[in-house]
Amino acid sequence: KHPELVDINYIYSENGDETDWLHFNSVTYNNDLNQIMVSSYNLSEIWIIDHSTKTTADAAKHIGGKLGKGGDILFRWGNPLVYQGGIGDDQRLFGQHNPYWIEKGYPDAGKILVFNNGFGRLDGNYSSVDIISPEIDKKGNYIIENGKSYLPKKAEWSYSDSQKSSFYSKTISSAQQLPNGNILICNGNSGLFFEINQNKQIVWEYKNPACNENGVIQDM
C-alpha cells in the first residue's frame, strides 16, 4: 500500500543472507530538481528522494520539501517486486550500476542512463545500457499506476550485443552519453572500453591488457 516506503522484510536472495541488504553502489545529484538518486544493487532498483527537506524531522515524516513528501521515495524503478507492484516479468533492472541524469545540452538531457548488469535475467545473463524517461505530472510528481509500478513500463532505449551473452559484466561497470549522442561503455569485469554511435555500432574499443583470457583483471 505504500510504495513510497521501504519494505524491510523483502527477501532478495535465495539463501536468505541479508547481511548486505541494500548495497548502494552509486549516488548522484540533480541540481535543477534538487533531488538525489541512489542505486541499490541487491534490490535491483534505483530510488529518487527529495534533497530539499530542511530538517531530519521533516525527512522522517511525509511532509516537507519541495514536493511536500518529506523523506518518502519519490520514484523507484527496476524491480516492482520489491514493493509488490508487479511480477517477475515486470523486473527491468538486474544488479545495475552508475545510473545518472544525462546533462543539459546532450541529446537525452534529463533522462536517466544506467548500466544494467543483467545478472539473473529470466532469459539469461547479459548486460545492457538503458535510457529511462520517468513520467512526471505537471506538479513534478512521478507517476505510478494505481496499485502497480512507477512509469515507464520499460526503458525508452536499450543497447545489448546481438549475441547477448557476448556483452556481460556481473558487477561494477558504467556508461555515459557523450555530447554527440554516442555512448561510452565500460565493461568492468572484462576490462573492455568501447563507444557506440546512435546506430548502436561500435566505433572504437580498447581492451585492458592487464586482463587474462577470462577477463579477470590482474595485478600490475
What confidence score (pLDDT) does residue 37 get?
98
What confidence score (pLDDT) does residue 220 get?
44
Q: Is the peptide bond prior to 152 cis by the omega test (within 30 degrees of 0)?
A: yes
**Residues in CB range of 146: below 8 A, 6 or more apart:** none
Distance CA 174, CA 30 (A): 18
Asked whether 141 and 78 are in contact (CB, 8 A), the reply is: no
Helix (H) or strand (E) holding 57: helix 56-59
What confidence score (pLDDT) does residue 30 get?
98
- Average pLDDT for runs of 10 along the chain of length 220: 91 66 94 97 96 89 92 97 93 97 98 97 96 97 91 97 95 97 96 96 94 58
Compute CA distances 25 → 97, 106, 122, whole Å. Answer: 7, 25, 23
What confidence score (pLDDT) does residue 1 get?
86
What confidence score (pLDDT) does residue 15 get?
53
Asked whether 26 and 38 are in contact (CB, 8 A), the reply is: yes
DSSP-derived secondary structure for 77-117:
ES-GGGGTSS-GGG---SS-EEEEEPPTTSTTTTSEEEEE-
Asked whether 115 and 173 are in contact (CB, 8 A), the reply is: yes
> Which residue in the block uniquely carries the three cell numbers 541512489?
38
